[in-house]
């Protein structure tokens, strides 16, 4: 009887772990589709700011519901925490998204994903600069490996595209830095506020900022006058590539922990390469493959050594 009970518990734990891995993989693959959707939208002659505004406008109702649901039984936030959420919404979901969408006008989705995947290394560097943490020898080696991988892929694309690659890569790198600042800041308050509540409220802040940005730079009716194909792509971007990854990854972390979820998340750059070949017809050479492998190995080492 006892053996049967132990076996039942082990089976249930294995199912929970397997489900967590599946959710992490789903979240990583869905999030990596964002750049593909943006590239497809740009082909319809719509600018990056309009694509971002459509994405956030369609995602906002879901984030509002999540913000309300996660705050039902929670203590009210103080003014200091509200100010932090405003800052995190600005850096993590507004500024980083706008810079990323702008950069995608100039570079391939493979290079974009590799640059964004440097986030753990950028958080480590922010800790070195702001928290005065001293990196170890192996961490420095892992950092060098990651950035070498990006340089390999960057150099290949630079030979083919020229100055556009420099501008696009600079914009996406600035996006990665902005999001790394969000990760650094959110890590200090997420335990107190809660992951769902923090993500939902920061996302709502970003949605408002993006829509204000659009209203200042475009006539508001232009948002809904975009071609039907762009509207459909934006709906996929909002629900499948924005809301779904947030929920899936949060549930994955709850089941299997942040470390394993991050490792499974390495499917993201790989799935981006596959989708860019399949849906966009972007060229893929040895340099991109080598660069991807170097970045993945470097980020994996940084993540393991930084725990």
- Across 38-59, b (16+ Cβ under 10 Å) vs e yields bbbbbeeebbbbbbbbbbbbbb
Q: Is 274 helix (H, G, I), strand (E, B) or coil?
A: helix
Q: What residues have CB less than 8 Å from 223, skipping those under 6 apart?
A: 50, 53, 54, 57, 214
Cα dihedral sign for 209, 268, 140, 195? positive
Please give the model's pTM, rounded to 2 decimal places. 0.85
* Percent of the chain predicted with pLDDT > 70: 89
With a cut of 80, say whether residue 261 has pLDDT above it: no
Q: What residues have CB less than 8 Å from 79, skipping those under 6 apart?
A: none
Query: Are 191 and 47 in contact, with CB atoms under 8 Å apart?
Result: no
pLDDT, tens digit, 9 for 90 and up, residues 150-164 = 888 888 777 776 678
CB atoms within 10 A of CB 296: 20
Query: Are 139 and 122 in contact, with CB atoms under 8 Å apart?
Result: no
Q: Average pLDDT, stretch 71-96?
A: 90
pLDDT, tens digit, 9 for 90 and up, residues 32-75 = 889 999 999 999 999 999 999 999 999 999 999 999 998 888 88
How many helices (H) and strands (E) the chain has is answered by 15, 0
What's residue 6's pLDDT?
Answer: 47
Distance CA 137, CA 266 (A): 23
pLDDT, tens digit, 9 for 90 and up, residues 246-260 = 888 777 767 776 556
Out of 7-21, 77-91, 183-197, pick the least confident: 7-21
Q: What residues have CB less than 8 Å from 153, skipping those under 6 apart?
A: 110, 111, 114, 287, 288, 290, 291, 292
CB atoms within 10 A of CB 223: 18
Report phi then psi at 176, rounded to 5. -65, -40
Q: Is 189 helix (H, G, I), strand (E, B) or coil?
A: coil
Burial (CB count within 10 angstroms: exposed 0-12, middle 13-18, buried 19+), residue 224: exposed
Distance CA 272, CA 117 (A): 12
At 306, is the pLDDT very low, low, confident or very high (cuts 50, 70, 90)?
low
């Amino acid at each position: 009887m006892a053996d049967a009970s132990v076996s039942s518990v082990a089976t249930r734990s294995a199912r929970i772990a397997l489900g967590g891995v599946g959710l992490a993989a789903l979240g990583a693959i869905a999030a990596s589709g964002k750049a593909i959707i943006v590239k497809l939208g740009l082909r319809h002659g719509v600018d990056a700011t309009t694509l971002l505004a459509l994405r956030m406008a369609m995602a906002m109702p879901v984030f509002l519901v999540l913000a309300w649901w996660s705050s039902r039984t929670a203590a009210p936030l103080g003014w200091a925490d509200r100010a932090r959420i405003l800052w995190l919404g600005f850096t993590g979901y507004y500024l980083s998204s706008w810079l990323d969408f702008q950069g995608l006008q100039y570079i391939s989705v493979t290079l974009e994903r590799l640059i964004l995947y440097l986030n753990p290394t950028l958080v480590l560097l922010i800790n070195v600069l702001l928290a005065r943490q001293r990196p170890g020898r192996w961490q420095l080696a892992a950092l060098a490996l990651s950035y070498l991988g990006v340089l390999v892929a960057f150099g290949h694309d630079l030979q083919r595209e020229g100055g556009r690659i420099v501008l696009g890569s600079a914009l996406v790198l600035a996006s990665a830095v902005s999001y790394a600042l969000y990760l650094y800041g959110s890590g200090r308050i997420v335990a107190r506020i809660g992951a769902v509540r923090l993500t939902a409220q920061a996302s709502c802040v970003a949605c408002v900022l993006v829509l204000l940005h659009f209203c200042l730079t475009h006539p508001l009716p232009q948002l809904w006058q975009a071609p039907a194909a762009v509207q459909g792509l934006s709906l996929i971007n909002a629900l499948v590539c924005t809301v779904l990854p947030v929920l899936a990854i949060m549930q994955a972390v709850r089941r299997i922990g942040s470390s394993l979820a991050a490792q499974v998340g390495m499917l993201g750059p790989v799935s981006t390469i596959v989708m860019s070949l399949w849906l966009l017809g972007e060229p893929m050479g040895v340099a991109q493959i080598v660069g991807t492998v170097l970045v993945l190995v470097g980020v994996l080492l940084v993540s393991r050594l930084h725990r």
